Each structure stands twice: as C-alpha cells, then as structure tokens.
A and B are shown apart, each in its own frame.
Chain A
Amino acid sequence: MKKSSRPFGKILMILAIVFFYLPILYMIIFSFNEGKSLTTFTGFSLRWYQHMLESRDMMSALYTTFTVAILATLISTVVGTIAAIGLSSSKKLVRDVVEQVNNFPIMNPDIVTAIGFMLLFITFKVERGYVTMLLAHIAFCIPYVMLSVMPKVRSLDPNLADAAMDLGATPWVALTKVIVPQITPGIFSGALIAFTMSVDDFIISYFVTGGGVKNLSIMVYTMSKRVNPSINAVSTLVVVIITVALVIINVVPAIAAKRPKKAEMGKRKIAIPCTIGAVVVAGIIAIFALKPEVNSDLPYSGQTLYIYLPGEYMGEEIVPLFEEQTGATVIVENFDSNEQAYIKVTNGESYDIIIPSDYMIQRLMEEGYLQKIDKSLITVWNELDEAVLSPAFDPDNEYSVSYFWGTVGIVYDKTKVSEEDLKEQGFGIFLNEKYKGDIYVYDSERDSFMMALKDLGYSMNTENEAELQEAYEWLVQCVTTMDPEIVTDEIIDNMAQGRKALGLCYSGDATYIMSENENMGFYMPEEGTNRWYDSMVIPTTAESYVLAHEFMNFVNSYDMAYANSDWVGYTSPNLAVKEDLSSEEEEGSYAGINAYIPRTDHPLDEVFVFNEEVKKLMGNLWSKVKIAASNAK
C-alpha cells in the first residue's frame, strides 16, 4: 500500500501547505510595502528593513525570542524525558498525581498560567526579566514534552530495561542505549512542540517579564497601536534564518550519509539541533553587530533610563539622539493599556519614567506610587502650551510633565456621512440605522461609556448608577441594532483605507488617518467629549531621577517635540511645535487637519477622573455589552 499514488492525499496535502504558507507569503510581500498599511500594497520599498535593522528593540526581541525558546526547549526536553521515564516506574498514584498536575498548564487558559507565575514571582520577590521568562517557559514546556514522551514510554516493554541490566548494562547505559533510542520520536515531537509553544508564547511572557526584556510577541502586541510592516520584515528575517538553517541541514546528512549505518537515524537526530544551532548563531551575530558603542566622556554615561510608555508612541530618532547626547542607555518598554501599566508598576517593577493617561496618573498618585518631580530641573516650562499646564489631576504640575494630549471624536467618511447628521445627533449618530453595519465602536469601556453618557447628556464622570445603567442600555442598543465592529487600533488602518463610514477615534489617530486619506473628517460633538492628557511621571521605584528630568526636557525641546509629534501624529505640548505642524505657511505635516488641534474652549468637554467603583462597574457592564453583541450576531 506504500506505493499507491493516493491522489486525494496529495491534493489535501498541497491545499494544506497552501493554507499554511499563504499568510506567510502575504506577510513577506507586505514587508516590502512602501506604505504603512498591512492591507493595501502601495509600492516596493526596503524602508521597513532599514527600520528593523536600526531598531535595537526589534533585534533584541528577536534575540530574546530565540534564545529563550532554544534554552527552554533543551532544558524542558531533557528534564521532561527524564521525568517521564522516572514516572513510568513510579507508583501509579504518584504517576496519576503528576499527570494531573501537568494538565494544569496545558489546560488552563494561558492568562491564568501567566497570572499564576506572576503571583508566584511577586510573592517570592523574584525580579522579573529574562530569567523569569525562561523559567516560566521551561515550566509550561515540560508538560508538553511529557505529554509526548509518556505514551512512548508506556508502550515500552517494562522488562526491557531489566533485561539490559541483567545482561550487565549499568542503569545509565540501559537508559541511554536501550530506553531513549526507543522513545526518540516522542522526544523529538515533544521538543518540537516545546519549541513551538515557546516561540509562539505571548501572554505568559508578557506577564512574567520585566526590565524591558521582551520577545517578538510582546513587541508585536504592544506595537498594535500602529502595527507597521517592520514586524513583517522581522518575520521575514525569521523565515530566512530558518531556511538557511534548513539548507545547512541538507548538507550535513549528505556528509553523514557517507557513513552508511548511522545515517538513517542521524538525519532526524541532527535536523532539529542544527536548525536551532543555526538560529542561535545568527541571532547572536545580529545582536553583536548592533551593539552600540559607549562613549564614556558624556555626563550620564553608564546610567540607564527605563521608560515605560504605550506602543509606537515615540518618534524613532528620539532615543538614539538622547543616548548620543547624554551617554546614557535608554531601555524602552511598552504597554498596551493604562491598566496593564498599573499592574506592573504596583507590583514593584522599576521604571524611571512612565507615560500613562490622566486618570491613571491620578490613581497612581493617590495610591502613592509616584514621586514629585523637581520642578527646578525642568527647563521647558515656558515652551509648553498653557492648555497642558495645571491639568485637573495635577493642578500644580508637581508630578507630571505633558507628553501628548488630545480629544476623542468621530472620524467619518465625508463621502458617506452627512455633516447635518453629525451636527444634529452628535454621538447619537452611532444609533442612526442609516449607518448600520458601517461603524466602528472602540473596544474600551471608558471611551464607549463616555460616548453614551455624553449623548444622554450626563457627565462622563458620573457616579450615578442609574445614569450608568442608561448608558449601558444605550450601548446595548448600539451593538444589537447597528451591527458595529468592536475593535481597537484596527480602526486606524481601516479608516485610513476608507472601509467604514464612522468610527470613534482619538484625535491623534484621526490626525494620522486624515493625513493618509483626504476623504476623512474629524468631528467633536457639541455634547462634549473627552479631553485627555498623557504625561510623563516618575514612579517611586525610579533609580535615575535626575536623568529622568533630563529626558523630560529633551523630549519637549522644540526639535525633538517636532520630530516626535510629526512621527506619531499626536498633539505636542510644545506650543510652537503645535503651531508649526498645523501651519500652512510652515508647510506643517498636519496643516488643515482639525483633529491635530484639540478643542480647549468647550464647557462640556471633560477629563477622566478615576473612581475605582465606577471603573469596575463600567468594566463589567462593558463585558455585558460585548456579550450582547455576540448574542446579536
């Protein structure tokens, strides 16, 4: 039966290969895209490769991913195999218990395992970073290895080892020469799964890492604000490395084949370690090739500045220029939500600067996680926009220096949406069935409730449960009758491509959308909206206090603030920068784009105030809204 031609199998196999490789091919093609979009190809360019090679972050993420994966695979395979062999000869009770225990990491949602590890490391005050990530990876890989090895061990004749030893073999010899060769396929598939799990892991790494150590997943996830084709470039590099490794492997067996007997098993044996080895070597070379030179004459050389901010929220040249000027090393870590930042900061992770939003600053301040800034060290006060000075959460600017600011509004397609509807209905347009199926709702309880509360004529900071209930019903009506897509930063790319008529959007993102697509408009309802401030603060755990101030000045100085705002699209707190970037005469990138100039004179606009109870209530109601949306589908 081996020789039958099996056309059905072949076709299925070919289809499967197409299925598996289509997205990868797509990814490779888009790594050469000229534009920022991941869906529309605008022209050939190598700019994302350049971006990738210049980004120390990306290269070190690549390095972390593969070194962790390789070490975790090797260690977990060895430990897992030994444990599996040991268990097979243990008492049944012990075996069953361990198997049950092993099922925990396999069965639990990754996030639970992740939280478990995090609680563990916090409880025992283990500093989170590379080592904790590696430990966690080993811990969740071993059960997979054992899952793969155990059936093989079980199917062995239990007398095999005894026979070997009766014939004079030492236990070690019996183990390595008799048992292990019998279960090799299981060990390899276990190692493969371990490697795969480790390379692919996101959420566990995300929770157990610290100190700026990140793997590719974390980088991609925190980049989601503006996913750009450079991640495709990194992935293409991974494909290339693997391909190179495979070519090497094909050469090795050819040599090994000259020695007859051993070749057969050798091929399988060599394949994986070789791939892994080649990847390590390539990774290490890449890292060393990019290691920056340290100039010791500069004032802060030898010092390190840890910055924690949202993904894709800083111009690319800022950090390298700052390092050049001060001699300090900057380590940037990204978060994807203020809540995420809160978890890390309150669990003792050390940073020198964090850039959260208004309400979160207030919360961190109230709970004593921030220290006052030394106002005398801040030299840029007089360059800042009056609108960002003395915000409600920090009226005397004792704790924060502004970074970006803006509003929330409606991005709309001028060709599809009538301005009268917007003016008449404000946020109520999200209930207008004329636009059914053509809207994006932002997947965040704060922003969605803001929209509903404002439309109902309430304060977005209401503590009144009846009003929140009403807002909840408003949102349920929206998701059940309007068939919206509830997304987050996907809005940016999709609206820039003009895929839907309406979307709730941050002004900075709207600025980018409008600069990409002139059919798009930005409207701030008369009902009032959210005005927000993202500011730099120094947590109590900071170690480079003075250097942090140095950075605050640097990033808000005219040239840097200009570059920063120009790159990100968010409004600069530096008044001159704001004016120049939006000025026709100066040919600013955002001239004529109303979203770039936040509204400051509207009495109904508000800034979020933190209230734990309300936040929890909103969070729970928002889950319910999404459940209602799933039910309506």
Chain B
Amino acid sequence: MKKFSQLAVPYIIWAALMIVLPMLLILMYSFTEHGNSIISFAVTFDHYIKFFSDPDFLLVLWRSFTIAVKTTIICLLLGYPLAYFIARSAEKWQNILVLCITIPTWINMLVRTYAWIGLLSDGGLFAQILGFFGVEEVEILYTEFAVLLGMVYNFLPFMILQINTSLCKMDQNLLNASADLGATPFQTFWKVTFPLSLPGVINGITLVFLPAISAFFIPKLLGGGQYFLIGNLIENQFITVGEWNFGSAISMIMAAVMMLLMMLVKKLEVRNQGGKEDN
C-alpha cells in the first residue's frame, strides 16, 4: 500500500495550517502577558502558576473530570447493549435503528437542551408526573442529575454509533466458530465479541468523555451558574473576564491532561490487540 502514502500530503499541510497553527497561537498566548490584539513577547509562567496554586481551580478540574467519567460510564453501560441489540437485528432494522439514534442529533443541541429545561423545571412534565405519584417538591433542574442527564442525552448517540460500527464489521463466522467449538454464548461474547469491538468502545469513550469534560453549555443551562465546570471557567476567561492569556493557559493544561489520558488509552488498546498493528 506504500503507493498511497502521498495521498496524506495535502491533509498534512491542511492540518498544519488549520490545527497546529491555531494551537501555537494559543500556546503563545498562554505564555505571554496581556492583550487580545497586541502581543508582547515577554514570556511568563504566571498563568500556569496561578492555576496550580489555587485549590479552587484544581477542584473545578477534578469535578469536571469526575462528571465526565460518570457520563462516560453511563453511556458505555447503556450504549453497549443498545449497539449490540442493533448489530444483532435484521439488516432492515439495523438501518432504521441507526437512523433513529442519529436523527435527534440533527436537531439543534441547544434547542433540545431547552426542551429538557421545560421537562425538568419546577412546573414541568416530570414534576407533574412525580406529583401524580405523590412525590412533591423534588428539584431536578439545576442539580447534578440534570447535568448528567443532559450530557448522557447529548453524547450517548456517539457511543452507540461507534460501538455499533465495530460490531457490524465483525465476521459472523467467528461467532459461529466459537459456538461450534463449544463456547457458551457468554464465553463467546466475552472472549470473542467484546475484544473485537474494543476499537469501537475506545472511540466511543473518546467521543463521549472529551466533549463531556469540556462541556460548558449543558452545565450552564441544566446545572445553573452554580454548576461550574472547567469549560465554564475557560469560557468565562475568554468571554466575560477577558483574560485570554489565563484562559489559554487553562486550555493548554486541559489539552495536556487529555493527551496523557489518551496515551494511556492507546497503551491499553495496543496491549489488547497484542501490538499487531505495528507495521
């Protein structure tokens, strides 16, 4: 396949321009002082020191991390069985179900989140249903539950679609072979199906965890201003406070944390596949 290697060249140039260069600009901001338009090149570490010396900021980072982990776990626990169900359905149904999962994501996320506000708010549908069963005065909106719900709602489709893709490409004969060789359905699942679907699972986790940790709109709308995550902190620095340099520094810190996590995940992935991809 060496013949195709030059196909990557245009994209490498594009990526340098559209991805690396903006990141370099942000990196530069994170090490410089003051100014959204005028840049003085005095290098400073102040912004990083400011972040790490303040337990409050670290706490925000930790809280964002934990809520993203919770979201990811819930999405995985719900998403895997759903993806599995879809993958094992008749082909006609597969397409329909995949579409059913995808369509909601084509309707604007903000609009759907506003709909959740209506459903969860004090006089909303959920409160009325709960009231009907005699449960009164339960606050759902502006709680962690509401934020989790909003995140799962928005990101679950990505998990399902990713896992489903990797389940679908699986060779049916492998499963049959496993069964023929005397494996129970559970053994087949655990020893054959699940390991083979891991790339999809990992992609799914990536697509859920990453937007979840940096989400700022969902916590703001469903959690209220008192639900303050790292995404909100960054947004705040850029939009309200106007400290772009500090905001850039926090962004860089987050990017670094993410990098580390992704490297760990990659390690896991490689180990699981016995390193056979190293060609």
List A residues at the B interface (Cβ < 8 Å). 1-2, 6, 8-10, 12-13, 16-17, 19-24, 26-27, 30, 38-40, 65, 79-80, 82-83, 85-92, 94, 98, 100-113, 115-117, 119-120, 122-123, 135, 139, 142-144, 147-148, 151-152, 154-155, 158, 160-162, 165, 171, 175, 185-186, 189, 192-193, 195-196, 199-200, 202-203, 216-217, 220-221, 227, 231-232, 234-235, 238-239, 242, 246, 264, 267-268, 271, 337, 339-340, 342-343, 346-347, 441, 443-445, 479, 484-488, 490, 494, 497, 499, 615-616, 619-620, 622-624, 626-627, 629-633
The reply to whether A186 and B165 contact each other, CB–CB distance below 8 Å, is yes
Report the bound CA distance from A88 to B81 in whole Å.
Answer: 31
Known interface pairs A107-B210, A119-B26. Does A271 touch B99 (Cβ–Cβ under 8 Å)? Answer: yes
Inter-subunit contact A119/B22 (CB<8 Å): yes
In the complex, which residues of chain A have a beta carbon less than 8 angstroms from the beta carbon of B158?
193, 196
Q: Which residues from chain A contact B143 at a C-beta distance below 8 Å?
A: 633
- Bound-complex Cα distance A6 to B224 (A): 40
> Counting CB contacts under 8 A, is B227 at the interface?
yes
Q: A16-B82, A24-B112 are in contact. Are A109 and B242 (CB under 8 A)?
A: no
- CB-nearest residue of chain B to A146: B11
B5 engages A89 (CB within 8 Å): yes
- Could you tell me the distance between the alpha carbons of A86 and B175 in the complex, rounded to whole angstroms? 32
Docked Cα-Cα span, A609 to B66, in Å, equals: 40
What 17 new A-B contacts, CB under 8 Å, besides A1-B88, A122-B37, A264-B91? A9-B82, A23-B115, A83-B8, A85-B1, A85-B7, A87-B5, A98-B8, A108-B23, A109-B213, A116-B23, A227-B114, A271-B95, A337-B240, A615-B241, A619-B240, A627-B59, A630-B228
B9 within 8 Å of A by Cβ? yes
- How far, in whole Å, are A92 and B2 apart by their CA atoms in the complex? 12
Nearest-CB residue, chain A, relative to B7: A86
Let me know if B235 and A86 touch, CB within 8 A. no
Contact of A102 among B19, B36, B121 (CB under 8 A): B19
Tell me what chain A mostly uses at the interface: helix, strand, loop, or mixed: helix
- Across the interface, which residues of B come within 8 angstroms of A148, CB to CB? 162, 165, 203
Once bound together, how far apart are the Cα atoms of A464 and B129, in whole Å?
51
Docked Cα-Cα span, A339 to B239, in Å, equals 6
The reply to whether A242 and B103 contact each other, CB–CB distance below 8 Å, is yes
Q: A152-B169, A443-B225, A624-B56 are in contact. Are A86 and B9 (CB under 8 A)?
A: yes
List, in ascending order, chain B residues with CB within 8 A of A196's CB.
102, 105-106, 157-158
Residues of B within 8 A of A87 (CB): 5, 8, 11
Given contacts A79-B11, A161-B1, A630-B226, contact A24 B107 (CB under 8 A): yes
- What chain A residues lie within 8 Å of B57 (beta carbons)? 627
**In the bound complex, CA of A103 to CA of B15 (Å):** 11
Cβ B22 vs Cβ A116 within 8 A = yes
CB pair B108 A147 closer than 8 Å: no
A26 contacts which of B109, B119, B175 (Cβ < 8 Å)? B119
Query: Given A107-B259, A485-B142: A88 and B241 within 8 A (CB)?
Result: no
Rounded to whole Å, the gap between the CB of B257 and the closest CB of chain A is 9
CA distance A630 to B62 in the complex (A): 12
By beta carbon, the residue of chain B nearest A39 is: B118
**Partner of B19 from A105, A122, A161, A626 at Cβ < 8 Å:** A105
Within the assembled complex, what's the spacing in Å between the Cα atoms of A220 and B232?
Answer: 19
- Hey, which chain A residues are within 8 Å of B37, CB to CB? 122, 346-347
Question: Is B14 at the interface (CB under 8 A from chain A)?
Answer: yes
Q: Indicate whether B31 reaches chain A with its CB closer than 8 angstroms.
A: no
* The 5 residue pairs across chains A and B that have the minimum distance between CB atoms: A116-B22, A86-B7, A486-B225, A109-B214, A86-B8
Q: Mark B195-221, 1 if CB is under 8 A from A, else 0.
A: 000011001001100110110110000
On whether the beta carbons of B85 and A629 are closer than 8 Å, the reply is: no
The residue from B26, B106, B117, B216 contacting A195, defined by CB atoms under 8 A apart: B106
Q: Which chain B positions have C-beta within 8 A of A135?
A: 18
The listed residue with most B CB atoms (<10 A of its CB), out of A26, A122, A152, A484, is: A26
Residues 104-149 (chain B) with a chain A CB within 8 angstroms: 104-112, 114-119, 121-125, 142-144
Instruction: Return the chain B residue nearest A250 by Cβ.
Output: B96
Q: Is the CB of A111 within 8 A of B216?
A: yes
The answer to the question of B278 belonging to the interface, with a C-beta cut-off of 8 Å to chain A, is yes
Number of chain B residues close to chain A: CB under 8 A? 125
Q: In the complex the two chains form, is B14's CB within 8 Å of A79's CB?
A: yes
Please, could you name 8 A-B residue pairs with CB atoms under 8 Å apart, sorted by A?
Answer: A83-B7, A91-B5, A106-B207, A108-B214, A108-B251, A112-B214, A120-B21, A147-B206
Q: Cα distance A218–B165 when bound, in Å? A: 32
- Whether B1 contacts A162 by the Cβ 8 Å rule is yes
**Which residue, B2, B4, B210, has most C-beta atoms of chain A within 10 A?**
B4
Q: Which residues of A contact B110 (CB under 8 A)?
A: 202, 216-217, 220-221
A39 CB contacts on chain B under 8 angstroms? 117-118, 121, 123-124
Known: A94-B12, A98-B8. A340 touches B239 (CB 8 A): yes
Q: How many Å from the CB of B213 to the closest CB on chain A?
A: 8
Verify B21–A89 contact, CB threshold 8 A: no
A224 CA to B217 CA in the complex, in Å?
12
Contact A343-B207, Cβ < 8 Å, known A111-B231, A220-B108: no
Nearest CB in chain A: distance from B229 CB, A = 8
Residues in B with CB closer than 8 Å to A65 are 108
B258 interface residue (CB < 8 Å to A): yes
Partner of B228, one of A20, A104, A264, A623: A623
- Tell me if B226 and A484 are in contact (CB < 8 A): yes
In the complex the two chains form, what is the Cα distance from A193 to B277 in whole Å? 25
Which of B23, B57, B200, B234 has the most chain A CB within a 10 Å cutoff?
Answer: B23
CB distance from A271 to the nearest CB of B (A): 7
**A541 to B: closest C-beta gap in Å:** 14
B19 contacts A139, C-beta separation under 8 Å: yes
Least distance between B138 CB and chain A CB atoms (Å): 13
Chain A residues, Cβ within 8 Å of B123: 39-40, 497, 499
Q: Identify the closest chain A residue to B125 (Cβ).
A: A26
When C-beta atoms are compared, the residue in chain A nearest to B169 turns out to be: A185
* Residues A108 and B254 in contact, CB atoms below 8 Å apart: yes
Known: A98-B15, A487-B224, A499-B123. Is A120-B1 also a contact (CB below 8 A)? no
Interface centre among A79, A113, A267, A337 (most CB of B within 10 A): A113
**Residues on the A chain within 8 Å of B91, using CB:** 264
| Known A103-B262, A105-B19; contact A155-B169, beta-carbon cutoff 8 A | yes
Which residues from A are CB-within-8-Å of B151? none
A23 touches B153 (CB 8 A): yes
Pair B119/A12 contact, Cβ less than 8 Å: no
Determine which of B15, B203, B213, B224 lies in contact with A101 in the assembled complex, contact meaning CB atoms within 8 Å. B15
Contacts of B97 in A (CB 8 A): 13
Given contacts A16-B78, A110-B214, A2 and B88 within 8 Å (CB-CB): yes
Docked CA distance A135–B106 (Å):
20
Q: Compute how far the CA of A479 lies from the CA of B224 in the bound complex, rounded to whole angstroms.
A: 12
Q: How far is the CB of A11 from chain B (nearest CB, A)?
A: 10
- Whole-angstrom distance between the Cβ of B71 and the nearest chain A Cβ: 15
Closest residue of B by beta carbon distance from A16: B82
**Closest Cβ–Cβ distance, residue A540 to chain B (whole Å):** 14
- Contact of B108 with A89 in the complex, beta carbons under 8 Å: no
Given A108-B214, A199-B108: A337 in contact with B239 (beta carbons within 8 A): yes
Q: Bound complex: CA of A325 vs CA of B166, how far in Å? A: 60
Q: Is B76 an interface residue (CB 8 A)?
A: no
CB distance from B21 to the nearest CB of A (A): 6
Known: A104-B255, A216-B111. A616 touches B242 (CB 8 A): yes
